[in-house]
Amino acid sequence: MRRPPGNGEAASEGPGGWGLWGVQESRRLCCAGHHRCEQALLQIGINMMALPGGRHLDSVTLPGKRLHLMQVDSVQRWMEDLKLMTECECMCVLQAKPISLEEDAQGDLILAGGPGPGDPLQLLLKRGWVISTELRRIGQKLAQDRWARVHSMSVRLTCHARSMVSEYSAVSRNSSKEMDQIEKLLMEKCSELSAVTERCLQVENEHVLKSMKACVSETLSTLGQHFGQLLELALTREVQALVRKIDASDNIYTTESTTGNLFSLTQEGAPLCRIIAKEGGVVALFKVCRQDSFRCLYPQALRTLASICCVEEGVHQLEKVDGVLCLADILTDDSHSEATRAEAAAVVAQVTSPHLPVTQHLSSFLESMEEIVTALVKLCQEASSGEVFLLASAALANITFFDTMACEMLLQLNAIRVLLEACSDKQRVDTPYTRDQIVTILANMSVLEQCASDIIQENGVQLIMGMLSEKPRSGTPAEVAACERVQQKAAVTLARLSRDPDVAREAVRLSCMSRLIELCRSPSERNSSDAVLVACLAALRRLAGVCPEGLQDSDFQQLVQPRLVDSFLLCSNMEESFV
């Protein structure tokens, strides 16, 4: 089960700000993704591999091979590097690397095997990751004034940079003058870094070392910029080749293979998604989705499009090629497989993400919104798996943020009944990520007056009560955060619906007030979430206004009678008793 397309989490740059492309944007929307978000991202510069959920991997998944990080001693590390370097570089490494083991020497990263022959993309990703990691570590050692390590790592960095330039030149087409110029600048800065760090080893005067440290830092920063520029240019060339291949191909196997390669690149982060969008990747993929002869490739092409549209450039390109109309056609055509329509729903979820400001200007979406919403409700109703339901409901949840008319459409389509019935089907709704989408839709629909009667009719208050007790099963940060969102939105929905006295009385009958009090007073019940606390206090006050007899005097005096901020401070500072 994957989670719906991302929630705007971003990966920050590494130390020193050498990353040329800046902070990464969200991979998906609304909730953190699962299979899609569990792959490594490429961040050009110092810290290239980070996950949207904030996790860092000790290995990088790449098509065909896996890059492993090993703990080895200096001699074994040199022997592994020997496979990837020319003879003169090996001599340089042999002379520069220390034989003695420092306390952090065992943590150095090496490549387990080189990239495959004739595979420039793999070469760029692997070498780029290693070089960026070396840059980050040199910055760390420089901050600690570990000059011996700074120098040895600078020499090793020079070897890796020279190897990347040499190997890429051997497998790629003729390079441009711009690339040649940046390669030259990069190698000059590498040599300069090695030379200046070697001189620092001979200096004992602290004041002189301090001035030289500033020089080394500036050289390292410039080197990182040149490296980022070179890697961006090289990756752009490879993306251009893939896009041209998709655009020109009429062979299903060639198109399938090339689209798969393009999808793998989208998983390397927002910078590569921008490059793909800029170089015509969106246009080429929609061309695939408009050819009946490629119907079996629609799910793969749509999944790639959803990844590209995590950046504004991708959404702009989708708008230019009438992508929304194509998605509407796929969603409303029952001759397409469920998998195809589910992937189309994922693209809709992505382009309507509230975390992308550009989506508010998708004029073409408003024209097709009614038929898209209708198709998504039908997909939720007929979903054969939790993943299909998750993608369809995530798209509906985002659309309710996108335009207020969507809530009225959902009401007319009996979406409340469809969603609440699905909650009792473990095959469709079995994770907090899915319940997060459902309660988001209910919360946004609850602003409508006529929503309350539908909720009562379908026993929705009892379902909302259950969501107030949402607990994570695995304890992972992503699942804990999803449970917090479910609790918060359930309380918000209850507060809004309790404008109707019938809903308020039903909530009191189901002991909702007791659960709200427990969430307010017990930080562990809400995972110490302030957002859940505020929502629960608001819902409790709304219910107390209708049925005050359901509260004890102490609860009324502490949670209802004071100002909201005073009750919040009281509950947020509570210490649980372990006696």
225 plus 255 within the same structural domain: no
Which residue pairs, CB below 8 angstroms and at least 24 apart, start in 54-58? Answer: 54/9, 54/11, 54/477
The domain boundary residue, chosen from 229, 261, 279: 229
Whether 185 and 273 map to the same domain: the answer is no
Q: Is the pLDDT of residue 94 over 90?
A: no
Angstrom distances, CA of residue 481 to CA of 35, 47, 327, 576: 17, 25, 31, 21
Q: 561 falls in which pLDDT band (50, 70, 90)?
A: confident
266 and 405 belong to one structural domain = yes
Tell me how crowded residue 367 is: count the other CB atoms within 10 A of its CB. Answer: 13
Does 326 reside within a domain? Answer: yes
Residues 272 and 174 in one domain: no
Do the domain assignments include residue 113? Answer: no
For the segment 4-26, the average pLDDT, to the nearest whole number, is 38
| The pLDDT of residue 528 is above 70 | yes
Examine the domain organization and report whether 134 and 212 are in the same domain.
yes
pLDDT at residue 364, rounded to an integer:
79
Do 270 and 221 lie in one domain? The reply is no
223 lies in the same domain as 269: no
Q: What is the CATH number of the domain that holds 272?
A: 1.25.10.10
Alpha-carbon span 520 to 535, nearest angstrom: 9
The region of weakest confidence among 51-60, 118-127, 469-478 is 51-60
Helix, coil or strand: residue 424 = coil
Domain CATH code at residue 483: 1.25.10
pLDDT tops 60 at residue 578: no
Per-residue model confidence (pLDDT) at position 25: 37
Q: At what angle do helices 312-320 and 338-351 cross, to 10 degrees?
A: 120
- Please give the residue that has the higher pLDDT: either 313 or 19: 313
Q: What is the number of other CB atoms lying within 10 angstroms of the CB of residue 261?
A: 18
Q: Determine, yes or no, domain membership for 396.
A: yes
Q: Band of the pLDDT at 83, cuts 50, 70, 90?
A: low
pLDDT digits (tens, 9 = 90+) for 432-453: 999 999 999 999 999 998 888 8
- Report residue 206's pLDDT band, with 50, 70 and 90 as the boundaries: confident
Which position has the higher pLDDT, 526 or 107? Answer: 526
Give yes or no: residues 260 and 338 share one domain. yes
pLDDT in tens, 47-78: 333 323 333 333 333 334 333 444 456 777 77
Among candidate residues 229, 258, 274, the one where a domain is terminated: 229
Mean pLDDT of 183-195: 92
Residue 360 pLDDT: 59
Nearest to 28 by CA among 356, 298, 485, 362: 356
Least confident span in 40-44, 348-352, 378-382, 490-494: 40-44
**Tens-place pLDDT, residues 376-424:** 999 999 999 999 999 999 999 999 998 788 999 999 999 999 999 999 8
Can you give the residue range of the structural domain that contains 529? Answer: 440-578
Q: Which of 368, 394, 413 is the last residue of a domain?
A: 413
The H or E element spanning position 540 is helix 530-546
Same domain? For 167 and 276 the reply is: no
Quick check: is 166 in a domain?
yes
pLDDT value at residue 85: 55
Q: What is the mean pLDDT of the chain?
A: 81
Mean pLDDT to the nearest integer, 205-213:
83
pLDDT category at 41 given cuts 50, 70, 90 is very low
The amino acid at 496:
R
Residues 164 and 293 in one domain: no
- Number of H helices and number of E strands within the chain? 26, 2
Answer yes or no: is 7 within a domain. no
List the single range of 13-22, 84-93, 172-181, 270-279 with lowest mean pLDDT.
13-22
| pTM metric for this prediction | 0.76
Best CA proximity match to 337, nearest among 290, 277, 297, 283: 297
Q: Which residue has the higher pLDDT, 24 or 197?
A: 197
Please give the tally of structural domains in the chain: 3
454/537 same-domain check: yes
255 with 321, same domain: the answer is yes
Does residue 562 register a pLDDT over 90? no
Average pLDDT, integer, range 239-248: 93
